[in-house]
Chains A and B, each alone.
Chain A
Amino acid sequence: MMIEVSHISKSFVSPKKYPGLKGAIKGLFSTEKIEKKAVDDISFSIKEGEIVGYIGSNGAGKSTTIKMMTGILSPTEGNCLVNGVDPNKKRKENAKNIGVVFGQRTQLWWDLPLSESFTILKEIYDVCDEDYAERMEFLNRVLELQEFFDRPVRTLSLGQRMRADLGAALLHNPRVLYLDEPTIGLDLVVKENIREAIKEINAKYKTTVILTTHDIGDIEELCSRIIIIDQGKKIYDGSLQKLKDLYGAKRTVSMEVRNYNQKKLANLWETLGVKEEDYETEYDKEQRILSVAFDKNKIHVPEILTAVMSQMEVKDVQIEETQLEDIVKQIYHSGVK
């Protein structure tokens, strides 16, 4: 196992705040504290070479978990092992095994040309000249760093900076790569480049990747396994396919119809013998589109189509599968089935 996290918890203690001016004065004398559990008893293990998507809504505790795995924060309870090292006890030793990209921050030297940052990192991680040359050649190919290698970091665009940051995190060939929202704010082309780069790195060096993101595209393209957390608790851990099977049973058929008639439609469901909770219909008057959302295990698409077509004139049909985004939304709202 590359990463073993067992029963890890982190709570933050902050002084209690009271509302209003009176409250502010009260706050000066109060010693009451509020304890907030950001991460609550999470366990999982990750094998070498896996790419795992770690997802959850804002403030769910994703970044806090990552920070405990990198040794920045110390857990309140529980512990974790990364490549056999406890990051909390041996931060520096652990740091040699990991690479980190925080999408919203940079580890590069802001005022200096990018090349300088790489030279410093070479020294810090004690990368020998041969490895450095080989690694740079690879990074240049997948991330195209050379076009802005001599420019000061502060003049780089967000996409360039993110590529540079990813390169910087990979220079010492880490066993584990943590990516905290690596594609935030990037345009589609750059996103695609970054994803391709991550895939190549994972394939070539067998780097274990843990990725937090709000971008469903990242997950669909990269991750074979996902972990979902909500309010500090793990609520799902398994393959992407399984999640889709569990939640992705919903289909939507949109039909452009003439002579729409609500009464006829109601009769139609009765003749089909379908219960009311198994479907949802919606009619868009302006565009004349009737959309029916249903459970694909209970009703079949042809049944609906023939039934509707027998009553109304259908001009166009579109069938949509549930997007992962909808599944995640659904889980955030109502929890796991």
Chain B
Amino acid sequence: MKVYLPFASNELKRQMAYKGAFYLFLFISLFGSFISYYLWKAVYGSANSTTIGGLTQQEMIIYVFMTYVTSSMVTISLADWVSEDVVKGLVAMNLIKPIDYRMSLIWRAGGQMLYRFLMPGVFVWIGLEFYKHYALGMPFVKFTTVLCFLCSASMSFLLYVLFDFCFGMIAFFTTYIFGMLMAKEALLSFLMGQLIPLSMFPGWAQKIFEFLPFPSMVYTPVMIYLGKYQRSELVFALGRQFIWIVLLYALGSVVWNRVTKRLVVLGG
């Protein structure tokens, strides 16, 4: 544990070293959220019913911004780092140290997660709560709900990075995965419920989603925050996240062992 802590703290420092990139990221992603906010406003304004996909307009506003808060924390692309390490031949530099490569990456991602949570995340969240209370006239979120959300979001983070590690392993076989990384991001933003709530998909598609890890990455914690899950459903949703973490962890170990056996370090 103590061994990996510096990876997290260093990533934090590294993030702060590149201020420009950070503000750009902040601006672009917030901008996207406001676009979808106004889009949904227009959709609800012209709709016949007051709920779409089981969400009222107020809930949709919360959904849009909480999705922003959650996904900025959760979607930390480990695979980018893996592919960078592979292309530059830096995997070797990691293997000469008495550490586990995956653990060091996860801790590094943890550092970035913390930074994103502190930097825009928490402020957007608080701002949203005030907006909700004073503009929409809804009560503040319950403390237990916040706890459940944070618990679920942390598992989402683990789930995402474990999945991304497995995905990044492709880089060892194909060397260059930039295109695949772009495709992954586009596809995942759909499957995680980042673009539109999964409850708006047709029934059969939602059935399929039940068996995929992706809804557990962003959609689940946001729905928990909205209070859409009752007791047994809540336990089931959290349990499912946990099971996916275990499965992806095991998968990652298997793939990593195979990769290191046939590792070819680029550049001599």
| Binding between chains A and B | yes
Q: Which A residues are within 8 Å of any B CB, using their own CB? A: 12, 59, 63, 67, 70-74, 91-93, 95-96, 98, 100, 102, 104-107, 109, 111-112, 116, 119-120, 123-126, 152
Q: A111–B95 contact, CB under 8 A?
A: no
Q: In the docked arrangement, what's the CA distance between A74 and B3, Å?
A: 25
- By beta carbon, the residue of chain A nearest B268 is A63
Name the 6 nearest CB pairs between A and B, nearest first.
A95-B98, A120-B6, A92-B98, A100-B96, A107-B93, A72-B95
User: Which among B13, B99, B268 has the highest number of chain A CB atoms within 10 Å?
Assistant: B268
* Interface membership of B204, Cβ < 8 A: no
**A–B Cβ pairs within 8 angstroms, 16 of them:** A59-B268, A63-B268, A67-B92, A70-B96, A71-B96, A93-B98, A95-B97, A105-B90, A105-B92, A111-B18, A112-B10, A116-B10, A116-B13, A120-B6, A120-B10, A124-B99
Q: B97–A109 contact, CB under 8 A?
A: no
Q: A112–B265 contact, CB under 8 A?
A: no
B1-50: which have CB < 8 Å to A?
2-3, 5-7, 10, 13-14, 17-18
Q: In the docked arrangement, what's the CA distance between A233 and B99, Å?
A: 32
Which residues of A have CB within 8 Å of B98? Answer: 92-93, 95-96, 124-125
- By beta carbon, the residue of chain A nearest B267 is A104
Which residues of A have CB within 8 Å of B5? Answer: 123
- By beta carbon, the residue of chain B nearest A165 is B93
In addition to A74-B263, A104-B267, 9 A-B residue pairs with Cβ atoms within 8 Å of each other are: A12-B264, A72-B265, A95-B95, A107-B97, A109-B10, A112-B10, A119-B6, A123-B3, A124-B99
Q: In the docked arrangement, what's the CA distance between A106 and B96, Å?
A: 12
Q: In the docked arrangement, what's the CA distance between A93 and B98, Å?
A: 7
Q: A106–B93 contact, CB under 8 A?
A: yes
- Tell me if A's interface is mostly helix, strand, loop or mixed: mixed
B51-102: which have CB < 8 Å to A?
88-90, 92-93, 95-100
Q: Which B residues are within 8 Å of any A CB, using their own CB? A: 2-3, 5-7, 10, 13-14, 17-18, 88-90, 92-93, 95-100, 260-261, 263-265, 267-268
- By beta carbon, the residue of chain A nearest B261 is A74
Which residues of B have CB within 8 Å of A93? Answer: 98
- By beta carbon, the residue of chain A nearest B5 is A123
- By beta carbon, the residue of chain B nearest A121 is B97
Q: B95–A70 contact, CB under 8 A?
A: yes
Question: Which of A73, A98, A152 is B265 in contact with, Cβ under 8 Å?
Answer: A73
Q: A74–B93 contact, CB under 8 A?
A: no
Which residues of A have CB within 8 Å of B260? Answer: 74
Which residues of B have CB within 8 Å of A74? Answer: 260-261, 263
- By beta carbon, the residue of chain A nearest B96 is A100
Q: In the docked arrangement, what's the CA distance between A74 and B18, Å?
A: 38
Q: In the docked arrangement, what's the CA distance between A123 and B10, Å?
A: 12
- By beta carbon, the residue of chain A nearest B100 is A92
Q: B10–A71 contact, CB under 8 A?
A: no
Which residues of A have CB within 8 Å of B268? Answer: 59, 63, 104
- By beta carbon, the residue of chain B nearest A180 is B268
- By beta carbon, the residue of chain B nearest A95 is B98
Given contacts A67-B265, A73-B265, A123-B5, whether A112 and B13 have CB atoms under 8 Å apart is: yes
User: Which among A70, A91, A152 has the highest number of chain B CB atoms within 10 Å?
Assistant: A91
Q: B96–A123 contact, CB under 8 A?
A: no
- By beta carbon, the residue of chain A nearest B95 is A72
Which residues of A have CB within 8 Å of B7? Answer: 120
Which residues of B have CB within 8 Å of A106? Answer: 93
| Closest chain B CB from A56 CB (angstroms) | 12
Q: A91–B95 contact, CB under 8 A?
A: yes
Given contacts A67-B265, A119-B6, A120-B6, whether A105 and B93 have CB atoms under 8 Å apart is: yes
Q: In the docked arrangement, what's the CA distance between A125 and B96, Å?
A: 11
| Closest chain A CB from B11 CB (angstroms) | 10
| Closest chain A CB from B30 CB (angstroms) | 25
Q: A126–B265 contact, CB under 8 A?
A: no
Q: In the docked arrangement, what's the CA distance between A91 and B94, Å?
A: 11
Q: In the docked arrangement, what's the CA distance between A276 and B92, Å?
A: 53
Which residues of B have CB within 8 Å of A107? Answer: 93, 96-97
Which residues of A have CB within 8 Å of B93? Answer: 102, 105-107
Q: In the docked arrangement, what's the CA distance between A63 and B89, Å?
A: 13
Q: In the docked arrangement, what's the CA distance between A59 and B267, Å?
A: 11
Q: In the docked arrangement, what's the CA distance between A185 and B81, Å?
A: 28
| Closest chain B CB from A69 CB (angstroms) | 11
Q: A112–B3 contact, CB under 8 A?
A: no
Which residues of B have CB within 8 Å of A116? Answer: 10, 13
Given contacts A105-B90, A116-B13, whether A95 and B3 have CB atoms under 8 Å apart is: no
